[in-house]
Amino acid sequence: MRIAVVQTNPVFGQVGSNVREAVSLMEGANADLFVLPELFNTGYNFVNKEEVEHLSESVTGETFRAISGLAKRKSCYIVYGFVEKADRLYNSAALAGPGGLIGLYRKIHLYYRENLFFAAGNMGFPVFDLPLGKIGMMICFHRMYPESARTLALQGVDLIAHPSNLVMPYCPDAMVTRCLENRVFAATANRIGRENRGGTDLTYIGKSEIVSPRGEILARMKEEETGVSCVEVDLAMAQNKRINEYNDLFLGRKTEQYRLS
């Protein structure tokens, strides 16, 4: 199967044109699963909660309609980040497929000023069993919490779809470790550009990437380009946790020795 990361350059608040940019990039590419950045439709650097509220959408809102229309036309799956308006406001990722909405993930580990605007996710780390393989989602800052990727891997995911708005230089390398220690694929989709708003100046570092269960960087985009990067993978490879005849990564865990809470 072919998986793809889509690297975009959203303009803050311009939902219609940001969605059109992403849709046109995907129209011109051939993949079974596309992963888009965190908050790809709105931009990231909110100044106040009123802006977040104003740019929020229900999970079946206008962004979903555009993305799921494309998933149907291309018969593919798409993971994308958006501001979800529900009982509260969440920094969420949705998974759309040819038949419509498949699932939702709400960001649990909020980063920096997100803590002022969003409620922390309350749905755990759901896993979706697609014809392509088992897929889970986590968003950006979760790379700093190995428990996130581990929770998904212990539920059997083959691939972690990782919509992101990376700002720190070491972020892409951190995902190599997450893949190695869990033997899973990861597709990290980041944005590019700069948002200097309300006294907070953020530059996004691009470098969207696809990493294999062996920690190989199968694709890594440049810091300043937009586009789609696709690779052909055998997702089933992630099911094999055996390192050698004596070590199985998961069977070898010594849970009784760990102190994780």
Please indicate whether residue 225 is annotated as part of the active site: no
Please indicate whether residue 181 is annotated as part of the active site: no
- Please report whether residue 57 would count as binding ligand ACM according to CB under 6 A: no
Written as six digits, the tokens of 39 are: 């908050």
**Which parts of 62-197 are beta strand (E)?**
77-85, 89-97, 100-106, 127-130, 133-137, 159-163, 185-189, 192-197
What is the DSSP-derived secondary structure letter of residue 226? -
What value, to the nearest 5°, has the Cα angle with vertex 138 and ends 134 and 142?
140
- Please report whether residue 165 would count as binding ligand ACM according to CB under 6 A: yes
- Please report whether residue 82 would count as binding ligand ACM according to CB under 6 A: no
Q: Which of 6, 83, 149, 167 binds ligand ACM (CB under 6 A)?
A: 167
Written as six digits, the tokens of 192 are: 């590019």
Please indicate whether residue 230 is annotated as part of the active site: no
Residue of 76, 84, 114, 140 with catalytic role: 140
- With respect to ligand ACM, which residue has the nearer C-beta, 130 or 139? 139
Shortest reach from residue 229's CB to ligand ACM, in Å? 20
Q: Footprint of ligand ACM on residues 106-145 (CB under 6 A)?
A: 111, 140-141
Exposed / middle / buried, residue 169 (Cβ in 10 Å: 0-12, 13-18, 19+): exposed
What is the DSSP-derived secondary structure letter of residue 236? G
- With respect to ligand ACM, which residue has the nearer C-beta, 71 or 137? 137
Catalytic amino acids?
Answer: 38, 107, 140
Q: Could you list the residues that contact ligand ACM (CB under 6 A)?
A: 38, 111, 140-141, 165, 167
